[in-house]
Amino acid sequence: MSDIINLLPDSVANQIAAGEVVDRPASAVKELVENAIDAGATSIQLIVKDAGRTLIQVIDNGCGMSDSDARLCFERHATSKIHKADDLFAIRTMGFRGEALASIAAVAQVELRTRQHENDLGTCVVIEGCDVKKQEPCTCAAGTSIAVRNLFYNIPARRNFLKKDTIEFSHIDEIFRRIAIVNYNVAFSVHHNGKLLYDLKAGNKAQRIASIFGMGASERLFPVEESTDIVSVEGFVGKPEHVRKTRGEQYLFVNGRYIKHLALGAAVEKAYTDLIPERTYPSYFLFIKVDPSRIDVNIHPTKTEVRFVDEHALFAIIRSATKKAIGQFDLATELTFDQPESLDLSPAPTGYIPDQPKVSFNPNYNPFNTGSSFHSGSSFRSDSGSSPRTIEAKEHFFDTTPETESQLDFSEPMPIEAKTPSISTTEESSPFCFASKYIVTTLRSGVVFIDQQRAHERILFEQFMNRKEMTTPAGAQQLLFPVNCTFSPSDRELMNEMVEDLRRLGFAIEPLASSRGTFVVSATPPDVADSQLQSIFDQMLADYKGGVMQKFADRDRILCLSLARQLAVKCGTALKTVEIQHLLADLFSCQCPNISPSGKKIMYILNETELEEKLK
Ligand code: ADP
Ligand code: MG
């Protein structure tokens, strides 16, 4: 019997491989633009016709190729980026499989013009479905231009499979954004059917995001920054009040490359628990740097999926960095996208290897460990406990690093001259209550209006949540006469489930053996009147059973929020000066002073420019 095994001709093998690398115009765009970036280009033009069906052209001012490389680059496994298997683990460039150009050339008509900067003449190569039609010297700009025409011209099945132009172009657009955001130090332009869609100047991260997503982006984002031994995280996360109904604006970059990573994405979203409604999604643009040997990028052909060695640690760090950004990013320093010097976002040089960042992250940081605020905070009526901390103290607080924060003693008003020269100390203003509803005071950035009820809800909520983490309840008050509360048979079961949580919140509560459905309470958290007890528990049960607070997954949060809501000072209560001072001090010691535990804005700052605008 004669031999039956044939080696596939290259053209066929390339067509098969092409299906993996280039499945639609957007993937060709990705490969070509990434090659341009790898070539060190500082300016890249993308020209597209008919959503890439007719033409995809990428012109760069990168290093260009020699005559022989210009021919060789279309061979399979032709790459200048890997020499030996070990290189795979240290890879920092975009492509490295050496398959892209071969695959594209297998399924399109390609014209390459390239010139190295030191040469006068460049090379032009025309190749169609793997056949080199022409290679000759040519005059052209330094750098490389690759025009890909009639993609899939020789695979009608695939060509017919392409979606409407609008859809194919939206894929190109998304691919382009992913590359352009993280390569903010490269200038880009994009034309589609002769129309200029993007004209992006080289800049910093913030400017790039603003020029792609609109200047309004600056109002919607908080900056994030965290640096530890294993990872550094920088970027921006959306303010809770600007969540979206889809996951559209979520970008995660690792070592300069866009990636998809379910767990890390979830880490960001987790930081918004309590702050945003269910089925809404925060925006984020996070730029993560890890040691390249701690990731494996080669697990997926299009390389958007990666695996991390330190995934658990990364998860925790990203979540806490995001939380910190949301909670502490301040009222005073609003993010300004047109002031690049306010955020040091200078671009990393190409081939940048992050060195081990130093630890400045304190996972145990807890503002409530600072002096006496914990025990007295919830009580407006008690005169003991912390003396009022001024709001300036908090402004100073924002300027300190986490390590020093935990050692700060707030029992005395903080001296403010040290690091915050911009605070005007001359205007002595005491906060006051307006309309029995809002507290009005001044910050260095403007006049701030604080919803007293929401503020108090936030304070109590954080105090209760902190109590949950402690083993013995703090600040419980003994009742002179224990109070009996009674529950229906079904509520009885729930009460039994909740009893441990209630104890940690400061209730001393026991089921009464002699009478089923009755619980006896002998101590309560501060400021709970015994006459309220039954109704407080009833409300907690109702909240627990669902209804209003469906969005919380765990019972702890539901109970803390329920109690915080019930005990918070209501609108319509005119607060006394000392109460206002306590409230402000406690609010600004919160992790999240801006947003109430049910996700509503606590404060509004009227700044000078806005005021001038209004008075025009
Ligand atoms: P890979 O990028 O994985 O190495 P490609 O098929 O995309 O494989 O490219 C093959 C080689 O062609 C690259 O390694 C690089 O040397 C060269 N090349 C491709 N595009 C460019 C460009 N725009 N400028 C300079 N060299 C390029
Ligand atoms: Mg490549």
HEC string for 441-469: EEECCEEEEEEHHHHHHHHHHHHHHHHHC
> Averaged over 470-489, what is the pLDDT?
76
Cα–ligand 2 centroid distance for 145 (angstroms): 14
pLDDT digits (tens, 9 = 90+) for 98-149: 788 988 999 999 999 999 999 999 999 999 988 899 999 999 999 999 999 9
Residue appearing with tokens 């001044």: 442
Closest alpha carbon to 71 in 142, 19, 6, 122: 122
Residue pair 361/231 in contact by the 8 Å Cβ criterion: no
Global pTM reads: 0.60
Tokens of 193: 């059917």
Where is average pLDDT lowest: 25-29, 278-282, 296-300, 407-411?
A: 407-411
Which position has the higher pLDDT, 402 or 154?
Answer: 154
pLDDT at position 512 is: 85
From CA 350, how far away is CA 354, in angstroms rounded? 11
- Ligand 1, atom 14, lies closest to the CA of 79
Specify the ligand 1 atom closest to the Cα of 60: 23
Residue 91: Cβ within 10 Å count: 17
Residue appearing with tokens 């919380």: 552
Using most ligand atoms within 8 A of CB, pick from 101, 104, 119 the residue to mutate for ligand 1: 101
pLDDT at position 18 is: 66
> Averaged over 208-235, what is the pLDDT?
87
Specify the ligand 1 atom closest to the Cα of 143: 24
Cα–ligand 2 centroid distance for 84 (angstroms): 17
Give, to the nearest 10 degrees, the angle between helix 165-182 and helix 25-38. 20
Tokens of 25: 């115009």
Residue appearing with tokens 């000066």: 577
Which ligand is located closest to the Cα atom of residue 58?
Answer: 1
Residues with a CB atom less than 6 Å from ligand 1: 31, 35-36, 39, 60, 62-65, 73, 78-81, 95-102, 144
Which ligand is located closest to the Cα atom of residue 101?
Answer: 1
Helices and strands (H, E) in the chain, number of each type? 19, 22
Residue pair 498/563 in contact by the 8 Å Cβ criterion: no
Which ligand is located closest to the Cα atom of residue 57?
Answer: 1
From CA 392, how far away is CA 115, in angstroms rounded? 60
- Ligand 1, atom 7, lies closest to the CA of 100
Q: Has residue 178 got a pLDDT over 90?
A: yes
Cα–ligand 1 centroid distance for 42 (angstroms): 16
Pairing of strands 257-259, 250-254: antiparallel
From CA 62, how far away is CA 46, in angstroms rounded? 14
Distance of CA 601 to the CA centre of its chain: 19
pLDDT at position 155 is: 85
pLDDT at position 213 is: 84
pLDDT at position 19 is: 67
Cα–Cα distances (Å) from 532 to 151, 308, 574, in that order, read 73, 52, 21
Cα–ligand 1 centroid distance for 521 (angstroms): 74
The confidence band for 542, taking pLDDT boundaries of 50, 70 and 90, is confident
Closest alpha carbon to 101 in 35, 23, 46, 153: 35
Position 238, amino acid: G
From CA 234, how far away is CA 239, in angstroms rounded? 16
The confidence band for 82, taking pLDDT boundaries of 50, 70 and 90, is low
Closest alpha carbon to 498 in 455, 528, 542: 542
Q: Has residue 320 got a pLDDT over 80?
A: yes
Cα–ligand 1 centroid distance for 73 (angstroms): 6
pLDDT at position 393 is: 34
pLDDT at position 475 is: 64
Residue pair 370/406 in contact by the 8 Å Cβ criterion: yes
| Torsion (CA) 478, 479, 484, 487 in degrees, nearest 10 | -50
Q: Has residue 72 got a pLDDT over 70?
A: yes
pLDDT at position 294 is: 82
pLDDT at position 105 is: 92
Q: Has residue 373 got a pLDDT over 90?
A: no
Specify the ligand 1 atom closest to the Cα of 78: 10
Question: 58 has which bridge partners?
Answer: 46, 146
Specify the ligand 1 atom closest to the Cα of 62: 24
Pairing of strands 43-49, 187-192: parallel
The confidence band for 322, taking pLDDT boundaries of 50, 70 and 90, is very high
Q: Has residue 195 got a pLDDT over 50?
A: yes
Cα–ligand 1 centroid distance for 148 (angstroms): 15
From CA 584, how far away is CA 432, in angstroms rounded? 11
> Averaged over 362-368, what is the pLDDT?
37
From CA 23, how far away is CA 7, in angstroms rounded? 24
Kindly write down the DSSP assignment for every residue of 28-57, as one continuous string.
Answer: HHHHHHHHHHHTT-SEEEEEEEGGGTSEEE
Which position has the higher pLDDT, 193 or 332?
Answer: 193
Cα–ligand 2 centroid distance for 285 (angstroms): 24
Question: 190 has which bridge partners?
Answer: 46, 198
- Ligand 1, atom 20, lies closest to the CA of 35
Specify the ligand 1 atom closest to the Cα of 80: 14
Specify the ligand 1 atom closest to the Cα of 58: 23
Q: Has residue 597 got a pLDDT over 70?
A: yes
Residues with Cβ within 8 Å of 222's Cβ and at least 6 positions away in sequence, in order, are: 236, 237, 238, 239, 325, 326, 329, 335
Q: Has residue 348 got a pLDDT over 80?
A: no
Where is average pLDDT lowest: 128-132, 293-297, 511-515?
A: 293-297
DSSP state of 191: E
Which position has the higher pLDDT, 517 or 580?
Answer: 580
DSSP state of 76: T
pLDDT at position 489 is: 77
From CA 371, how far away is CA 382, in angstroms rounded? 17
- Ligand 1, atom 13, lies closest to the CA of 79
In degrees and rounded to multiples of 5, residue 450 shows phi and psi of: -120, 125
The distance between the two most distant Cα atoms of the chain, rounded to a whole number of Å, is 103
Cα–ligand 1 centroid distance for 35 (angstroms): 5
Which position has the higher pLDDT, 602 or 497?
Answer: 602
Distance of CA 169 to the CA centre of its chain: 26
pLDDT at position 456 is: 94
> Averaged over 60-67, what is the pLDDT?
96
pLDDT digits (tens, 9 = 90+) for 4-57: 776 667 666 666 666 667 889 999 999 999 999 999 999 999 999 999 999 999
Specify the ligand 1 atom closest to the Cα of 100: 6
pLDDT over 70, % of the chain: 73
> Averaged over 456-468, what is the pLDDT?
86
State whether residue 268 is helix, strand or coil.
helix
- Ligand 1, atom 1, lies closest to the CA of 98
Pairing of strands 518-524, 508-511: antiparallel
pLDDT at position 327 is: 76
pLDDT at position 302 is: 57
Tokens of 198: 């993007």
Mean confidence (pLDDT) of the chain:
77
Specify the ligand 1 atom closest to the Cα of 94: 2
In three state form, how does the secondary structure of 521-568 look? EEEECCCCCHHHHHHHHHHHHHHHCCHHHCCCCCHHHHHHHHHHHHHC
Which position has the higher pLDDT, 55 or 441?
Answer: 55
Cα–ligand 1 centroid distance for 615 (angstroms): 59
In degrees and rounded to multiples of 5, residue 72 shows phi and psi of: -65, -30
The confidence band for 303, taking pLDDT boundaries of 50, 70 and 90, is low
> Averaged over 548-564, what is the pLDDT?
71
pLDDT at position 436 is: 87
The confidence band for 522, taking pLDDT boundaries of 50, 70 and 90, is very high
Cα–ligand 2 centroid distance for 48 (angstroms): 19
